[in-house]
Amino acid sequence: MRRAAAIAAATVTAVGLVAAATPASAASGSTTDVRLISFNDLHGNLEPPAGSSGRVDLPDGSTVDAGGAQYLATHLDKLRGEVKNSVVLSTGDSIGASPVNSALFHDEPTMEYLRQIGVRASVVGNHEFDEGYKELQRMQFGGCHPDDGCEFRDKYKGASFPFLGANVTFDKGFPALLPFTVEFSGGMPIGVIGVTLQDLPSVVTPEAIEGLKFGDEVEAIDRTANLLDKLGIKSQVVLMHQGDNTEGGGPDDCQVTPGPATEIAKKASPKVDAFFTGHSHMQYNCQVADPAGNPRTVIQGASFGRLLSVIDLKIDKRTRDVVRPETKAHNQIVTRDVTPDPEAVALIEEAAEKAAPIANEQVGTIASDLVRAAAPSGESPLGSVIADAQLEATTGSGAQIAITNPGGVRTDLTFPTSPAGEGDGVVTYGEAFAVQPFANIMQTLTYTGEQLKAVLEQQWQGEETRVLQVSSTLKYSYSASAPAGSKVSGITVDGQPVDPAATYRVSVNNFLAAGGDGFTELTNGTELTGGPVDLDAFIAYLGAHPGVTAPPADRITVLP
């Protein structure tokens, strides 16, 4: 905290000096061009992501392969070369839920990459807290891991940029992170405010954020925007790790289903000129009217380094404020048809070489692609396989069914061989890790039939739907049009109708058992028995069932 306070004090001092030095007689109407470039939800994807995670949807419905740190760096250099005054930012979840070549080293390779490409500031996403606040501080300031030491390189330098969180405090109300930073580009100060999602506690394990609170996004933005304004910082942007969902469209379409990002952008201070958003892994480029009725950009660039979100500002040299009508924005596709950045290539090869003895080990085989994309019912082929694996791994604890969260299924398992050349259909440890990277612990608990139905009803939370992935032993029907609390019917376990008064042994990961993703009914389970790590359960299942195929999508039936 002392180091954070020092950074904040230095920032405020610098702002004051620049404010005093800016000539009051700058010609009215004279502007400076500034380009802001951000990416969101990189999740340590240094190598090009596979399957659907490595493609971008185009407006005509076709797709293009995208992503890969070596290509992102090249596109970034091109974008910076087009506008002299350019600033690179991250909208959170750069680390966490990462592939094995980053995760094995506590994401130090990804942090080194962010240093390489010149990131100037990042908001914290929920995954920055995966290993807790102390580990986030180590990511910020450097030093070796307290248990594993420095395994990637002899030293870990830390970030060359601040992690921001204006709405993140300790329990007693003191700031846990810097609320903002100020970037000077083209002689103009630009306030960069960071806010993460207020409901972050619902998407991480409780122990990861013990002692922390996450406040209202709008209140934090307004408070920080007013402070920046008093300091003379008139140009302001928000890095917000919160987003909306879309109904399709290309990178620069705005076919969003208005959600938290839109609502925050409508309500937050009109002093803010633009929003970079994240978390929902969607692509959109929208204009949302602020409380004063003036439109401002709200943009998000999918995930995994497939898009770079670009906002071009014109800043009046006299007022030092953004000329809002002149703002232009677009999402740049990180295509793979450009020359790879050699420095990034060297880093990726170093990480791959050091991770190879573990990452390239064969753990099983599949007979066809296993994708995480869901059918209309919400069933995912890969999600179903994972739920079956978790049930098989916990039958010794009396488990009758297994349930897993869709957000825990991170990428596809594809049949064609990877560039490592392991062969078609071969699943390596690294590929399995990319699917289940959280190291969640399986837990088997007892619930009544009534409680089980309540869990399934919690898949509909307001306007948001999260369809749980279930083992083959659990089947049910639902009607999305039915009233809340009465959508689910026909629940069976092993083909037998569920008795509301009877008890059932259910396996879930510790994230869900703690009420994660809003499934609070799962916290009411009893007779807890611990099990293996979810990844170990998945690997064991792959090893025990050569040539795994996608199971029939018959576990969930959709009714009118």
> What would the pLDDT profile of 547-556 be if each residue is shown by its tens digit?
999 999 999 9
For the segment 230-258, the average pLDDT, to the nearest whole number, is 96
Q: How far is CA 161 from the centre of its chain?
A: 19
Rounded Cα–Cα distance for residues 422 and 428 (Å): 8
Kind and range of the H or E element at 223?
A: helix 217-230
Choose among 425, 353, 367, 439: nearest CA to 47.
353
Domain segments of the chain: what residues? 27-342, 362-558
Where does the pLDDT of residue 29 fall: very low under 50, low under 70, confident under 90, or very high at 90 and above?
low
Q: Tens digits of per-residue pLDDT, 249-308? A: 999 999 998 999 999 999 999 999 999 999 999 999 999 999 999 999 999 999 999 999
Rounded Cα–Cα distance for residues 184 and 293 (Å): 28
Cα distance from N-terminal residue to C-terminal residue, the chain: 55
Find out whether 288 and 296 touch, Cβ atoms under 8 Å.
yes
Find out whether 507 and 399 touch, Cβ atoms under 8 Å.
yes
Residue 1 to residues 8, 119, 137, 177: CA-CA distances in angstroms? Answer: 10, 22, 10, 8
Q: What is the 3-state secondary structure (H, E, C) of 389-452?
A: HHHHHCHHHCCCEEEECHHHCCCCECCCCCCCCCCCCEEEHHHHHHHCCCCCEEEEEEEEHHHH
Find out whether 92 and 124 touch, Cβ atoms under 8 Å.
yes
Residue entry with tokens 């009607």: 479
Rounded Cα–Cα distance for residues 284 and 246 (Å): 8
Give me the pLDDT at residue 50, please.
85
Sort 118 into a burial class: Cβ within 10 Å, 0-12 / 13-18 / 19+.
middle
Give me the pLDDT at residue 172, please.
92
The encoded tokens of residue 302 equal: 């999918």
- Mean pLDDT value across the chain: 93
Rounded Cα–Cα distance for residues 86 and 33 (Å): 9
pLDDT above 60 for 148: yes
Rounded Cα–Cα distance for residues 418 and 165 (Å): 38
pLDDT above 80 for 492: yes
Q: Specify the CATH number for 362-558; select among 2.40.160.10, 3.40.50.720, 3.90.780.10, 3.60.150.10.
A: 3.90.780.10
Give me the pLDDT at residue 51, please.
84
Strands of 338-400 (E only): list them: 362-365
Rounded Cα–Cα distance for residues 48 and 551 (Å): 28
Length of the chain: 560
Find out whether 551 and 385 touch, Cβ atoms under 8 Å.
yes
Where does the pLDDT of residue 5 fall: very low under 50, low under 70, confident under 90, or very high at 90 and above?
very low
Give the angle 380-364-413 at the CA atoms, nearest 5°.
35
pLDDT above 60 for 523: yes
Choose among 66, 130, 162: nearest CA to 511.
130
Stated pTM of the model: 0.85
Find out whether 59 and 6 touch, Cβ atoms under 8 Å.
no
Of 191-195, 452-456, 516-520, the least confident: 516-520
DSSP character at residue 478:
E
Q: Tens digits of per-residue pLDDT, 398-420? A: 999 999 999 999 999 999 998 88
pLDDT above 90 for 424: yes
* Largest distance between two CA atoms of the chain: 81
Read off φ and ψ for residue 517, nearest 5 degrees: 60, 20
Cβ within 8 Å of residue 107, ≥6 positions away: 44, 95, 96, 98, 139
Give me the pLDDT at residue 95, please.
96
Give me the pLDDT at residue 247, please.
87
For 552, other C-beta atoms within 10 Å of its C-beta total 10
pLDDT above 60 for 2: no
SS3 content of the chain, % helix, strand, coil (to 5): 30, 30, 40
Above pLDDT 70, what percent of the chain? 95
Residue 404 to residues 77, 173, 387: CA-CA distances in angstroms? Answer: 41, 34, 6
Cβ within 8 Å of residue 16, ≥6 positions away: 231, 232
Find out whether 336 and 69 touch, Cβ atoms under 8 Å.
no
Strand partners, 332: 308
Rounded Cα–Cα distance for residues 413 and 411 (Å): 7
For the segment 496-510, the average pLDDT, to the nearest whole number, is 97
Find out whether 113 and 47 touch, Cβ atoms under 8 Å.
no
pLDDT above 50 for 350: yes
Rounded Cα–Cα distance for residues 120 and 139 (Å): 15
Find out whether 440 and 534 touch, Cβ atoms under 8 Å.
yes
The encoded tokens of residue 406 equal: 């869709």
Where does the pLDDT of residue 375 fall: very low under 50, low under 70, confident under 90, or very high at 90 and above?
very high
Give me the pLDDT at residue 446, please.
97
Find out whether 503 and 444 touch, Cβ atoms under 8 Å.
no
pLDDT above 50 for 216: yes
Of 211-215, 345-349, 514-518, the least confident: 514-518
Which architecture does CATH list for 27-342?
4-Layer Sandwich (3.60)
Where does the pLDDT of residue 6 fall: very low under 50, low under 70, confident under 90, or very high at 90 and above?
very low
Of 18-27, 87-96, 199-208, 375-384, the least confident: 18-27
The encoded tokens of residue 214 equal: 């996450």
For the segment 75-92, the average pLDDT, to the nearest whole number, is 98
Rounded Cα–Cα distance for residues 356 and 69 (Å): 18
